[in-house]
Amino acid sequence: MPGPTAGPGPPSEDIYEFSMDEEEAQSLHLHRKSLEKTSPLSKYIETEHQQAGLFSLSPFYASVDPTVDLQKKKRKKCGDCTPCLRKENCRSCANCLNRKTGKQICKLRKCEQLKKRRNEWEVSEIDSIGLCSCWCH
DNA sequence: CAACACGTAAGT
DNA sequence: ACTTACGTGTTG
């Protein structure tokens, strides 16, 4: 994307107020109370994403109830892939247009990790560190 | 199999 | 309480 001095007229994108995202506007507007409730679950997910693949999740624990419960929780975007790095919604994809009913993030912003279904990325993560999740047998 | 619809987890 | 968006069942 060229800088503002790159041409005589602004690109058509500039006619939109792209300076602030919906989410950003919200966080600016609503940044009053910062609750520091670090639930064990949030802590777990946070750690999980910080370590980016170095799971302490062994197949052994995977068959134990508390971890099964954790697996049921929603994943978060990796924050590192191209879609995650994208700042604004395209406003033209099906997800943007159907946001009220579809409840999905803009297709251009959908995290590459989350595009895979849970089992797929779990298996590849585990496979990449040389382990196998035993429920596949 | 992709797109859609909806429940609901997670964050503000 | 409200919004965003993940997970999953349903539909075409």
Complete DSSP assignment for A69-119: HHHTSPP---S-SHHHH--S--S-SHHHHTHHHH----GGG--HHHHS-HH
Question: Does residue A71 lie within any of the structural domains?
Answer: no
Is residue A114 a part of any domain in this protein? yes
Judge whether A30 lies within some domain. no
Establish if A120 belongs to a structural domain: yes
In a domain, A90, yes or no: yes
Q: Please provide the size of chain A in residues.
A: 137
Which nucleotide comes closest to A23 if you measure CA to C1'?
C4
Confidence band for A12, pLDDT divided at 50, 70 and 90: very low
Residue type, A4: P
pLDDT at residue A117 in the model: 72
| Chain A residues 91-110 within 7 Å (CB) of strand B | 94-95, 98, 101-104
Count structural domains, chain A.
Answer: 1
* Residue A19, number of CB atoms within 10 A of its CB: 9
Rounded distance in angstroms from the CA atom of residue A93 to the C1' atom of nucleotide B3: 12
Could you report the per-residue pLDDT of A63-111, keeping only the tens digit for each?
Answer: 445 455 556 688 999 988 989 998 888 888 999 988 889 999 999 999 9
Domain that holds residue A103: 77-137
For residue A86, tell me if it sits in a domain: yes
Averaged pLDDT, A103-128: 75
Residue A93 lies in a domain: yes
